[in-house]
Amino acid sequence: MHADTGEHRSGDTAWCIPKRGGGEAFLLLLLEFQSGIAPRMALRVLVYAGLLWQHLEREKRLLPGGRLPPILPIVLYRGKSKWSAPLSLRPLIALPEGSPLWEWQPDMCYCVIDERRFDEADLAQREGLLPLVFRVETAVEPDQLVVVKAAARAWFAANPVPETLRLLFIELLRAAMEPLAPGMPVPDDLWESETVLAEDVEAWKQKYIEKGRQEGVEIGERKGEAAALFRLLERRFGALPEWVKERVTAADRGALEGWLVRVLEAESLDGVFD
């Protein structure tokens, strides 16, 4: 789809729908995938709609009587904060309420599908592929993806769809797993086995629980050594300047142990830290 200026828009979907009384109608879906809130989305949707209608007019694909086909604009949003942009063009136009100029102003509305506003339990009860996609994209724990994968395998087994669609869903599952379980290799047979993902997630959880315990012990020991160093420094040299506090607070255990040894012999703060 191109404007007269050469501007290009892609990603829109045209549906050809048979009518009960015969003939066809076109339904154009403008899909906007947004991770952040766009305050002037209504204006963008209006521009997209105009470009689509221009394109169909040039291609001589208007409806009987030269009428424009209807458009259903949908914004698919997955940001963390709730969508707050105006859902129509009118709030963006600087006119007071009751102005006679409103009669000649354009308007455009759009529908927002806010993925993160759907409850996980609600999505789990819904049939179809789209709820499964939403559950993958909004998952916050690896365990959730294990459950979704089992539901998706059952859905694909019961619904004859193109193989490319199944492969796309598997790639979506892989992409979702990587940030939720950093450091865990996603298995090649992710989809084929009923247990492989669950087993890998459990192994990953045990690994990182143990790592967290070790890090907790190390942090506790480092804090204890830092506290001991502060006490010795204050006893020998009095009130400590800010730079000393910053260095001690940011130091690792090796540096702290070295300073603890030197504080007993050094003649000054510089002698401890230089």
Q: Do residues 6 and 109 both lie within one domain?
A: yes
Q: Do residues 138 and 161 both lie within one domain?
A: yes
Q: Do residues 202 and 217 both lie within one domain?
A: yes
Q: 256-260 long-range CB contacts below 8 Å, 24 or more apart?
A: 256/222, 256/225, 256/226, 256/229, 257/225, 259/229, 260/225, 260/228, 260/229, 260/232
Q: What total number of domains does the chain contain?
A: 3
User: Tell me, what's the pLDDT at 5?
Assistant: 52
Q: Do residues 206 and 256 both lie within one domain?
A: yes
User: Tell me, what's the pLDDT at 56?
Assistant: 85
Q: Do residues 130 and 31 both lie within one domain?
A: no
Q: Do residues 181 and 142 both lie within one domain?
A: yes
**Angstrom distance (rounded) from CA 24 to CA 21:** 9
For 189, the domain range is 118-194
Q: Do residues 163 and 258 both lie within one domain?
A: no
Given 51, 81, 116, which residue is the final one in a domain? 116
User: Tell me, what's the pLDDT at 81?
Assistant: 82
pTM of the model: 0.57
User: Tell me, what's the pLDDT at 92?
Assistant: 95
Q: Which residues of the chain are modeled with pLDDT < 50? A: 1-3, 6, 8-11, 212
Q: Do residues 149 and 51 both lie within one domain?
A: no
